[in-house]
Amino acid sequence: MSKLTLNFEKPNFWHDSIHIHYWESNPNDLSTCWPGIPIKKNQSGQYQILLDGVSSSNFVLNDGHGNQSTNLFADKNSFIDKNFRISSMKSESPIAQKKKAKGSTKTKIKTIPSSSADFREETIYFLMTARFYDGDPENNFFCRDRIQWDEKGDAKDPHWRGDFKGLIAKLDYIENLGFTSIWITPPVENRSGLDYHGYHAYDWEKIDPRLESKGATYQNLIDEAHKRNLKIIQDVVINHSCQYGIRNKVHIDHLPVKYYVPHGKNIGQEKLGPYLKNLGNYKWEYRDDIDNPVAPDWFRERHDSDPEGKEPLIDPKTGHTVPCSGYDPGRFFGIDANNLDPDWYMQEGFICGGDWESPSLQTKHIAGDCINLNLENPQVKEYLNNAIKKYLDMGVDAIRLDTVKHIPREILLEYVNEWKLHKPDTFVFGENLVKGLGWGDLGGGDNGPSFIRPWWYTRLGNNPQDPKSGEDSGFSVLDFGLFSTFRDNVSRGNFGGIGEVLSMDWIYGDSTQLVTFLQNHDVGPDNDFMFRFKGDQWMAAATYNLLWTIRGIPCLYYGEEIEFKKGAPQDVMGERDTLESTGRAYFGDHLEEDTIHQTMEHPLYKHIQRLNQIRSKVPALQKGIMGHIREWGSGMHFSRNWNHGESLAFIGLAIGSDQNICIEQIENGTYLDCVSGEQIQVSNGSIQFHVSANSAGIYVKDGPGQIGESLEYLK
């Protein structure tokens, strides 16, 4: 009698009540009723299924609590890992091999997996590490600005709260949601009054200790992610440093912050929470913000003395003595742009007013705590490139580059190409924020020149009025052009204007490599981009249907999967706002053992999970060029064609109401819907199908059929 043996490695978040539901089995067409028959663990810790009288079968694994695999098929004894990949059964299962390896005395040779040759196959989960999940309370840290107080007047919600230990503990959560890459905020050491987000770099060569713990270093995070086939995207800032210089390289003149006393106050009168009587790093014995060996002798001497900040210090610039109530705050926190070291920094002052839409934004400093580096100088290039190469050698798979439009294209591409030369196939994309379509000189009501617009950086041409004057630069960007329309369409329940945006895809070097999104840590599509998406849930679901099926690489900002902080400002706005009131609030409360299952039951969580499942099975949705584009507000349709029909899909989307879809002049053949499983035989070059409101039809030629179970917004 036939016997089919299946060994299954359960995802960590699944319940232990594993079942297998199977159907259309050979040779006797045996089947079960949902949820199927229960499976128990064997001695090696796996769930082993022995199907008597079965040589091959379709099947689904589930835990009886809402979690389930995709539709699977086996015709030989097989092992199914927790990502539902099937491999032939070996003499020892992967789990048994892991257990055996732990007892081995041989030295483990570290190998660094190369980046995927085609990053379009990925989907991205973006998180602010310090605000995601707290694995180690010992490394928590309060920034000196925007401290939140409890009813007793004690400080709470440390700004640096999440860490690598916490992220490692929740990698399975992200993996279960179906994402394949994790974009983390800059991990290098920072200095600023509010530096938890990582965009005020002080030392590019060192990981910020407020993120690391014993056994949970940056290298540990990369390694643990790779074990789960998750890629790490490191956020990188090369445009600017913090206002205190760069450790071991350059010092920016300031007075030690521990001598600062606000106007009208004496030392000890100001309520400073963990900072007690004076500012400065409250975890350092001698209370200061920086430990820069290239600072002047007088500064370094005070770094290692006078923790109370009481000994008189003469300001070498003015001759005044501190501490002194109300003495020039600029000497502690500000910048004199005229006295910066020209070997490291630009010299033309600060951006103001109209500079944000003119070439001067590439020569001026962004803000008082973002001081622009002189990126053309050899020592700056060497320092930054060596640091980035080190992280690539550690296993970083891709780079997100901050503040792109502040760097001239030719200079930016010198850096990007250096990284790619060091580690081929490294995917690099950047942030070039625009509040319009971003077409520059090409029209669309844009008031800025093309050579600071997103598309320009994706091309190599020299004519800002002709994108086709140059080929693909190999650098991609976040799709702010598409995003900028969302406040006028999807935030109001329609797709109006999406077709116009897609009609201009030809201006990019490769539009299929754009990184698409609904919101991130800086912007949301409502009220001039300042708030997290606050539209109805069905509007968000319909937007995700769009982002997961059109060209580009979908990116989700942490918490979107449960409408986290819906409608909250993306950053502090009011004078007394703290992070808890913003879209950057601490997310970890939703990931605790007693809440995580509820989090994973949210309709949008399950919706995004299924979209990831579908996209992972259809190459056309990942890499295919777009065609047959038509949009009519309440609906749209288009095709995705990968490698001359090797993978071909026709997609219909509906938002707000049901839609009937008709797409003509298509290739004849058999098309199966990934959403409903419906099969349509096309013989006259036309396909017609119905799409429920806020759902999608994804008809793939000779496709896999239904992927996942019917949901409210995918049915």
DSSP 606-672: HHHHHHHHHHHH-HHHHHPEEEEEEE-SSEEEEEEEETTTTEEEEEEEESSS-EEEEEES---EEEE
The residue that leads in pLDDT, 351 or 12, is 351
Task: Compute the residue count for the chain.
Answer: 715
Lowest mean pLDDT among 11-15, 456-460, 572-576: 11-15
Edge-to-edge strands of the sheet including 181-184?
A: 476-477, 427-430, 398-401, 231-236, 181-184, 124-127, 553-557, 515-516
Distance of CA 29 to the CA centre of its chain: 45
pLDDT confidence tier of residue 73, bands split at 50, 70 and 90: confident
Kindly state the average pLDDT of the residues 520-531. 90
Q: For position 90, what pLDDT does the model report?
A: 42
C-alpha angle 694-697-703 in degrees, rounded to nearest 5 = 150
Q: Where are the beta strands (DSSP E) in 200-315?
A: 201-207, 231-236, 240-241, 245-246, 250-251, 313-314
The residue that leads in pLDDT, 126 or 527, is 126
**Beta carbons of 416 and 375 less than 8 angstroms apart:** no
- For residue 668, pLDDT over 90 is answered with yes
pLDDT digits (tens, 9 = 90+) for 262-275: 998 888 777 778 99
- For residue 667, pLDDT over 90 is answered with yes
**Beta carbons of 67 and 14 less than 8 angstroms apart:** yes
Q: For position 526, what pLDDT does the model report?
A: 86
Kindly state the average pLDDT of the residues 639-659. 97
Q: For position 44, what pLDDT does the model report?
A: 59
Q: Which of 193, 220, 194, 196 is nearest to 208 (CA)?
A: 196
Report the alpha-carbon distance of residue 123 to residue 125 in Å, rounded.
Answer: 7
- For residue 94, pLDDT over 50 is answered with no
- For residue 483, pLDDT over 90 is answered with yes
What separation in angstroms does the CA of 313 have from each of 263, 278, 298, 317, 328?
18, 15, 9, 12, 14
Give the domain 623-701 fold.
Immunoglobulin-like (2.60.40)
Structure tokens at 641: 């064609």
Span 3-101 CATH architecture: Sandwich (2.60)
pLDDT digits (tens, 9 = 90+) for 138-178: 999 999 999 999 999 899 999 999 999 999 999 999 999 99
pLDDT confidence tier of residue 680, bands split at 50, 70 and 90: very high
Q: For position 66, what pLDDT does the model report?
A: 67
Return the sign of the alpha-carbon dihedral for residues 559, 565, 570, 571. Answer: negative
DSSP secondary structure, 403-445, as one string:
-GGGS-HHHHHHHHHHHHHHSTT-EEEE----SS---GGG-TT
Report the alpha-carbon distance of residue 199 to residue 406 in Å, rounded.
Answer: 15
- For residue 243, pLDDT over 70 is answered with yes
**Beta carbons of 405 and 361 less than 8 angstroms apart:** yes
- For residue 509, pLDDT over 60 is answered with yes
Report the alpha-carbon distance of residue 121 to residue 126 in Å, rounded.
Answer: 16
Kindly state the average pLDDT of the residues 574-594. 96
Q: For position 45, what pLDDT does the model report?
A: 66
- For residue 103, pLDDT over 70 is answered with no
Cross-strand pairs, 604? none
Kindly state the average pLDDT of the residues 630-647. 97
Q: Which of 160, 187, 182, 185 is nearest to 170 (CA)?
A: 182
Lowest mean pLDDT among 121-135, 203-217, 352-366: 352-366
pLDDT digits (tens, 9 = 90+) for 413-435: 999 999 999 999 899 999 999 98
Amino acid identity of residue 208, one-letter, is D
Q: For position 68, what pLDDT does the model report?
A: 78
Phi, psi (degrees; rounded to nearest 5) at 177: -70, -15
Largest CA distance in the chain: 96
pLDDT digits (tens, 9 = 90+) for 344-368: 999 999 998 878 888 899 999 999 9
pLDDT digits (tens, 9 = 90+) for 277-318: 889 999 999 999 999 999 999 999 999 999 999 999 999 999
Given this chain, do its domains 3-101 and 623-701 carry the same CATH topology? Answer: yes
Structure tokens at 58: 């379709």
pLDDT digits (tens, 9 = 90+) for 441-473: 898 888 789 999 999 999 999 999 999 999 999
Q: For position 145, what pLDDT does the model report?
A: 94
- For residue 558, pLDDT over 80 is answered with yes
- Provide the whole-model pTM: 0.84
Kindly state the average pLDDT of the residues 595-614. 98
Q: Could you tell me which CATH number the domain at 122-243+370-619 has? A: 3.20.20.80
Q: For position 531, what pLDDT does the model report?
A: 95
Kindly state the average pLDDT of the residues 686-715. 97
Q: Which of 348, 394, 396, 395 is nearest to 371 (CA)?
A: 348
Report the alpha-carbon distance of residue 599 to residue 603 in Å, rounded.
Answer: 9
What is the residue extent of each domain of the chain? Answer: 3-101, 122-243+370-619, 623-701
Q: For position 99, what pLDDT does the model report?
A: 36
